[in-house]
Amino acid sequence: MKLTKITSLLLAAALSLSLAACGAAPASSESAAESVSVSESVAESDTSSTAETAADAAVTYPLTVTDQLGREVTIESEPKTLASGYYISTSLLIALGVKDELVGVEAKADKRSLYTLSAPEIQELPSIGTAKEFDLEGCAALQPDLVIVPAKLKDSIPAMEELGLTVLAVKPEDQAKLFDAVDLLAKATNTVAAGETLKNHITDSLAALSEAVSGTEAPSVYLAGNSSVLETAGPAMYQNTLIENANGTNVAADVTDTYWSEVSYEQMLAWNPDYIVLASDASYTVEDVLQDAALADCKAVQDGHVYQLPHAVEAVDSPVPGSFLGSWYLAAVLHPETVTEQDYVTAADTFYSDFYGFTPADHD
């Protein structure tokens, strides 16, 4: 079985089976695994020190913070009940260790595998809607001490505040802003030490990955969208970060759209990427692309280099805490000579075990 045909297995099993089928990696690839281990050892020391420092800087209330819409928000007392209307903020709150404080979550939480594996109890909580259809009255009825919503709901925030809700908006659209969201929610919920530990883990893992792919040649990558292979991510999108972290070159680097950009078959063939990578939540399959007659002359298709980002636990091409694992996956695809299946499995297992209480490999 080839990696290009594996699109629905769990994280560890997917990459393990796929890359194994492509042949054993050279001995030099052991350095990446060793780098991960060394990084984790260093991280334990560094994060311990940072956590102690963060813990010393105790959060006091009333607390005024600036959310990711630039709004100054005063939180009168430490929040004991939380409502999250966004899967990214819910995921962050679980990682920060305050899942038990949640009293309401975004719609369709029961469909998210990450919650099933890490916090099934929150899937039974009342829904407060979506970014398109927020349930204002339902949220207010829960009387949460703090509400976290996506920045897309900015026009609804005044109405929330009129009902006495304290609201923070998050907009983690790139790695830096994801870390800003971590800082914001960690401070608001008095979990600063946990926030520092989370950020350091991600930073150290990405540093180990950077070292592993250093000096390799960067192949060209076309990252296809959720709805169609004729959608792609330009440099303004978070997906571009995954490609760069894995030492790949985004063929759509000149695209100026800030969302998925529609392109033609002619443009795809002109770019002629070495690899085509489907979004985690793509509604079509790797096999669909391989069998698309309009792409028969594309190098990636001819070489069988069509893949889909992991999606069995969560979509790693959105700015969730675990999104850095998408870079490990891509690196294992683009540079199997230096990043092995075990490097990816180790990164995923360690992260989810430490911050979500489960190991993906145990659920394959």
Residues 306, 271 share a domain: yes
Q: What is the CATH number of the domain that holds 141?
A: 3.40.50.1980
pLDDT attached to residue 52:
53
Mean pLDDT of each 10-residue bin along the chain, 364 residues long: 35 40 40 49 50 62 98 98 97 98 97 96 96 93 98 96 97 92 98 98 97 97 97 92 96 91 97 98 97 98 97 92 96 96 91 97 70
For the entire predicted model, the pTM comes to 0.84
Does any domain span residue 49?
A: no
Number of domains making up the chain: 2
Distances (CA, A) of 242 to 13, 102, 120, 231, 358: 21, 30, 29, 17, 24
Closest CA to 109 of 76, 81, 87: 87
Residues 237, 356 share a domain: yes
The DSSP string of 262-292 is E--HHHHHHH--SEEEE-TT-SS-HHHHHT-
Residues 177, 79 share a domain: yes
Q: Answer yes or no: are the C-beta atoms of 256 and 234 closer than 8 Å.
A: yes
Does any domain span residue 147?
A: yes
129: left (phi over 0), alpha (psi -120 to 50) or beta: left
Listed residues 189, 213, 239: the one ending a domain = 189
Q: Report CA dihedral (22, 309, 213, 245) to the nearest 10 degrees.
A: 170
